[in-house]
Amino acid sequence: MSKQSGKVAIVTGANNGIGFETTVGMAEAGFHVVMACRSLEKAAAAKASVLARIPSASLEILVLDLSDLTSVRGFAQAFRARYSTLDVLINNAGILLYSAQTNADGVELQFATNHLGHFLLTALLIDMFPDDSASRIVSLSSIAHKNANTHFDDLTCGQDGGVAYGQSKLACLLFGDELDRQLTASGKSLKSLTVHPGGSDSGLFNDLDEATRANMKEQVEQLLHSNEDAAKPSLFAALSDQVKGGEYYGPTGPEEMSGKTWVATRNPICDDHGLAKRLWRLSEEMTDQTFAI
C-alpha cells in the first residue's frame, strides 16, 4: 500500500476496536485522521494511544453520535469549517444489540447508528472528495448480513436485536453497492467499497450480561482474530491500488472469520438492485436529506 501525505481521512468509531486499529493504519500511511467519536474522553485516550505508537501521527477529534441525525449534521458542519477536501471516509462505527432499543426519534437503534447515520454523513460530505481513483468511501458490513433481509414494514424486526443487527449490516452493504453504481453512472472516479472484518472481539458482545458474554466468547474464540487483523480489509479498501469500486472485501479463511483479505461472499439478495434503490429512497426520507451525486 502506498504512502500518502497531506491527505485527510475520517474514521468513525475511531476510539476502540477495529476503528482504533484502522486509525493507526491510516496514520501510518501518512493521512491526517479525523477521529469521529461519540465520547470525547474515550477519543482523547485513544488519540494518546495512537501517538504512543506513532509519534508522528496527525490526528484530530470531532464529536459524532451516529444515532442522532442532529449530531451528524453538526459534525459535517464542523468538518467543512476546518477542511476543504476529504480523501477517504471509513464508515466503521457500529453497535450490536441483543435487546430492543430505539434512538430519540423512535428508530431501531442499530439501523439508525450502523446505516442511517453513515448514509447521512456520506451525503453531507460527498461533494468534498477529489474526483480521483484514490478517493474512497469504505462502508463496513458484516458476515451477519448473509442471512438478513430488509424489513421495510417493521425495522425493529419484531423487537429481535440479532435480526435487526443483520438487517443493519445488510443495509450497509446495499448502500455501498448502490453508491458505487451511482458514482459510476455519473462518470466519477471516486470509489465506494464495502468490507467486513471477519470475527473479532471488538466490543460487539458488550450488550450481553457477563455470563452470556463469556459463554459466547468461549464458543467462537477459536475463530476470532485480532482487531489489528480485523482492520486489514478496511485498510486494504482505503489504500490499495488493487481494489475495484463496488467490490466487497473481507477475510477469506474458514467461514470468512479470519484469513487473507480478498473478495468476500455476498448474500444473493444484494443482486436485487431494486431493493437497494428502495432502501436508498427510504434512507433519504428518514434522514430528510436528498443524496446528490
Q: Which of 98, 165, 248, 249 is catalytic?
A: 165
C-alpha to C-alpha distance for 61 and 246, rounded to whole angstroms:
29
Whether 165 is a known active-site residue: answer: yes
Radius of gyration of the chain (CA): 18
Closest CA to 79 of 45, 43, 36, 120: 36
* Furthest C-alpha separation in the chain: 52
CA angle, residues 159, 165, 167, in degrees to nearest 5? 90
Q: Output the CA–CA distances (angstroms, integers) from residue 218 to 37, 85, 224, in the order listed.
A: 30, 45, 10
Please work out, in degrees rounded to the nearest 5, the angle formed at the alpha carbon of residue 38 by the alpha carbons of 5 and 120.
75
Q: Which residues pair with 37 in a beta bridge?
A: 63
- How many helices (H) and strands (E) would you count in the chain? 10, 8
List residues with catalytic annotation: 165
